[in-house]
Amino acid sequence: MTQIEDLRTKARALFDAAVTAADPAHAVRRGFALSPLPMPQAGGRTFLIAIGKAAPAMLGEALVAIPDADIALAITHHENETPLTGSEVLRAGHPVPDEAGARAAQRVMTLLSEATEKDRIIALISGGGSALLPAPPQGVSLTDKARLNDLLLSAGLDIVQMNLVRQQVSLLKGGGFLRLAAPASVYAYLLSDVIGDDLRAIASGPTVGPIGTAADAIATLKAANIWDAIPTSIRNHLESNKNRTIGPVPMATNTLVGSNRLSLEAMAQEARTIGLTPHIVSDALTGDVADAAQHVLHELTTRPKPTALLFGGETTVKLRGTGKGGRNQELALRVAMGASDLRAKWVFLSGGTDGRDGPTDAAGGLVDAGTLPRITAAGQDADVLLANNDSYAALAAGGDLLMTRATGTNVADVQVLLIAP
């Protein structure tokens, strides 16, 4: 095994450690220990409702602790094929909402509306819930919501900005879950895919509350220069509600059970185990992917060698072309292009802990100094492909796509930069 091959193997091992640390079953066990559930009231029912990319695994662990739950329902994405007995599993579209998601949302709303003051509802929330449960208000179609989602994803907005808008066009988000569930008691356990762990932004805060108002959503869309492209029904809905005063959402007990930072710490521990000296450089690698690449390149050129540098976060990409890729693939490609002339031996990995980067089957990219020569040898031009947002084709040509299949969890993205002596 060459030195570069060894570094690539170690980078993948660190990524796998991050995913393992975000294991949904472990997270639920941790959550029940941190915030034990009270006993149900006499005559009351227990509802287990899991929402998000990690829903089946979270629900499966909850059923171990509460095998006699009256309702056990999981809503996850189509690609998550985790088997789950003794419960109802609905699968829906992500990142763009679909009819299956609309039906799942209606199922959840029906269940919540049937709850009484004697019932307890245990919500297991993970990333992806925003798209998986589209519940548009009257006058807004699912097609219009899907169009809104497309525009938000392509505008370079961060997850908090996107979910601020999504909350204002939903009956379940931004505390809507709690309003529908009242007067039942709600206990939520959240696996965070949001940098900074703002509970209002995880799956758009169904059990928490809104990030902002309809007026804030309008301002966000205008600042992103997409207001005029938003479907008319949604613009009318936001305009008609921008001066509306909404009372506080009902109370709930919300417990954070997993996060990007915990995965970074697990990566650091794994690095020490395999003989590396790790440094967590940042748990907030956010903003435009081009700026993030420059940050990584700065670390690559200034850090003493050897070293293992770890990052976590979630960057954004402004779509200017028609190619295929995701933020992790583009970040990896940009780093490979920016470091191609360096003499140091290095590898860089950027991957989504959910195993899916954008609308592709790759989790991200794993690149080294040989990436650009391999792309060129395959008859491709990295500059042309990058200009068309076609990072997937570029990394595929170089044999540098990070392939994991869906992991069943999601705590945003992690990056590994290994530099040899």
90, pLDDT greater than 90? yes
Could you tell me if 202 and 318 lie in one domain? no
- Answer yes or no: is 30 within a domain: no
Question: How many CB atoms within 10 Å of residue 206?
Answer: 35
Residue 66's CATH number: 3.40.50.10180
Segments forming the whole domain that contains residue 149: 35-258
Looking at the structure, tell me whether residues 253 and 320 fall in a common domain. Answer: no
Asked whether residue 245 falls in the same domain as residue 280, the answer is no
Domain count, the chain: 2
The CA-atom distances, in angstroms, between 410 and each of 165, 337, 402 are 21, 28, 16
Answer whether residue 24 is part of any domain: no
pLDDT above 70: percentage of residues in the chain? 100
Tell me the per-residue pLDDT of 198-248, one tens digit each, with 9 for 90 and over. 999 999 999 999 999 999 999 999 999 999 999 999 999 999 999 887 778
264 and 220 in a common domain? no
pLDDT digits (tens, 9 = 90+) for 277-312: 999 999 999 999 999 999 999 999 999 889 999 999
**Whether 47 and 106 share a structural domain:** yes
How far apart are the C-alpha atoms of 15 and 362, rounded to whole Å?
14
Domain annotation covers residue 27 = no
Full-prediction pTM beyond 0.85? no
- Domain-located, residue 265: yes
Which residue type occupies 276? L
Q: How far apart are CA 401 and CA 11, in angstroms?
A: 13
Same domain flag for 339 and 292:
yes
Summarize pLDDT for 138-190 with one digit per residue, the tens: 999 999 999 998 999 888 888 899 999 999 999 999 999 999 999 999 999 99
Residues 364 and 302 in one domain: yes
Q: Is residue 421 over pLDDT 90?
A: no
Separation of first and last alpha carbons in the chain: 17
Alpha-carbon radius of gyration of the chain = 22
Asked if 178 contacts 252 with a C-beta cutoff of 8 angstroms, the reply is yes
| Shared-domain flag, residues 13 and 40 | no
114 inside domain? yes
Same-domain check for residues 290 and 209: no
pLDDT digits (tens, 9 = 90+) for 315-365: 999 888 999 999 999 999 999 999 988 888 999 999 999 999 988 999 999
Which of 194, 227, 258 is where one domain is finished? 258
Domain shared by 301 and 318, yes or no: yes
Q: With respect to residue 25, please indicate whether it lies within any of the assigned structural domains.
A: no
Distances (CA, A) of 98 to 1, 135, 147: 46, 11, 11
Tell whether 156 is covered by a domain.
Answer: yes
Give the chain's mean pLDDT: 94
Looking at 242, 258, 274, the residue that finishes a domain is 258
Are residues 390 and 251 part of one domain?
no
Query: Under a CB-based contact definition with an 8 Å cutoff, are residues 322 and 383 in contact?
Result: no
- Distance, in Å, from the CA atom of 347 to the CA atom of 336, rounded to the nearest integer, reads 9
SS3 content of the chain, % helix, strand, coil (to 5): 40, 20, 40
In a domain? residue 28: no
CATH number of the domain encompassing residue 368: 3.40.1480.10
Which residues touch 384 (CB under 8 Å, ≥6 apart)? none
At which of 230, 258, 286 does a domain end? 258
DSSP assignments along 197-246, one per residue: --TTTGGG-TTS--SS-HHHHHHHHHHTT-GGGS-HHHHHHHHHHTT---
**CA 237 – CA 83 distance, rounded (Å):** 39
Same-domain check for residues 305 and 320 = yes
